[in-house]
Structures are given as structure tokens and as C-alpha cells.
Amino acid sequence: METAGRLSGMDCKKVLVGLYGFLRSKRGEVAALCVFGYLMVKDFLAVLRYAQTMVAVSFAGFVVLLNGLLVAGYYTLLVGIYLTRGSASSSSKSLPAKLVAIAGTFLPFTFPMLSDPARSGAIELMVSSLTLLSGMIFTMMALGTLGKSFSLIPQTRNLVTSGPYRLVRHPVYVGEILAALGLVVWAATIAKTLVFLALIGCEVYRALQEEKLLMEIFPEYKEYASHTARFVPGLF
């Protein structure tokens, strides 16, 4: 029994040391992990509740359900990336760049608080759902391609130019803006429109900050950027 107690104590010590090491290496990411983990669970539960309350299968209901699954899957992917990725090769030292990046990530969460459900109808719901669906699919494709190189704040790990990155330099932001547009379409208000414009400004600014780092670390990025649009092929 005494030997078993010593072994148990040693095992607990190893677990605590391992946990401390993880938290130390991820100290700047623990908050993001907690937020994304919470949102992942919340959205999966919301999808489950919605599925249980569906009285009949309809196209609109299916689209709404699929959107919910994609959003929950998006946060699941983010949690996985943050748990497994390595250290960045460089990171922006600009506090405004970091704050704008965080603001751009979480601004869409204000949309439900700025909605007026009484003003939304079947057409608005359908357009909103399809726009949100398209944005989330494109975002998931881009995030899956970017993988462990993803970061909320401007950082560099690996240069990714495949998949959606062959079309535009910042497909994650393009997808997020499109998905946010879907949220604006549903019961649009002046406040939501202003927040959407602020979101676009944040995404453009953080993209420019990321490109500065990428140009410094990866000489080949300049060539890639010369023939790849930033957000919209042929326009911007």
C-alpha cells in the first residue's frame, strides 16, 4: 500500500508538472482556449436543442442546422489548433495590431444583441442562412489548410499558399466577413451595419500587419503577393 501511495504521488507530480509546462508554453493562449472551448460546447448544445425542437424537416431548417454544426465545428478546429501548434517564429510587437485582431475576432458576437427578430421574414432568413453557410464553409476550408499556422494576433509559423490561399491571401478573413454579412442580413439594423463596417476595417488592418511580418520572414511572400489578390480576385 505504501508503494502504491508513493507511485500515485509520483504520477500526480508528473501530471502537475506536465500541466504547468503546458500552461507556461501556452500562457498567452489559455484565454483563447477557454473562450473557444466554451463557444464550442455552447454551440454544439444549441444545435442539439434545435434538432430536438424541429417538428418537420424543411430546407430552411436544414440550412440553419448545418450552419450551427459548421460554427461549432469551427470552434472545435480552433481548439485543436491551439492545443497542438508550436511556437511562432515571429510575432507582432504592436499593441494596436493585437487589440484590433482580437476585436476583429469577437465583433461578430455582438450581432445577436443588435438584432430585431420581429423584422426578419422567410426571405431574409433564407438569404442570411445561405450567406452564412457559404462564409463558414470557405472559412473552414481556409482554416483547415492553414492548420497550425493559424493565430489570432499577427504571427508567423509556416507560409501557406495552397488551397483557398491560391485564390486570395486572406481566405479566413474573407470567409468570416461573408459569414458576418449573413448575420447582418438577418434582421438588419443600423447598429449591425456599423459593426459590420468596423469588422471589415479590423480584418483589413490585421491582414496588412500580418503581411509585414510575412514579408520579413519569408522572402518568397512578395512574389506570392504579386499575383494573388488580398481579398477579392481582380479587385483587392
Give the domain ranges of the chain.
11-84, 89-236
- Distance from C-alpha of 153 to C-alpha of 129, rounded to nearest angstrom: 29
CATH 1.20.120.1630 fits 89-236, yes or no: yes
User: Which range scores top for mean pLDDT: 96-110, 185-199, 211-225?
Assistant: 211-225
- Please list the alpha-helical segments (H only) found in the chain: 2-25, 30-53, 59-84, 95-106, 122-146, 171-185, 190-217, 221-226
* Residue 7 reports pLDDT greater than 50: no
Question: Cell 439594423 sits at which residue?
Answer: 189
Q: 90: which strand partners?
A: 156
Model pLDDT, residue 20: 43
Model pLDDT, residue 113: 77
β 155-156/90-91 pair status: antiparallel
> Residues of 146-171 as b/e, b for ≥16 C-beta within 10 angstroms?
beebbbbbbbbbeebeeebbeebbbb
Model pLDDT, residue 16: 54
Which range is least confidently modeled, 35-44, 78-87, 197-206? 78-87
What is the per-residue pLDDT across 182-212, written as a single tens digit (0 to 9) for each?
888 887 888 899 999 999 999 999 999 999 9
Average pLDDT across the chain, whole number:
83
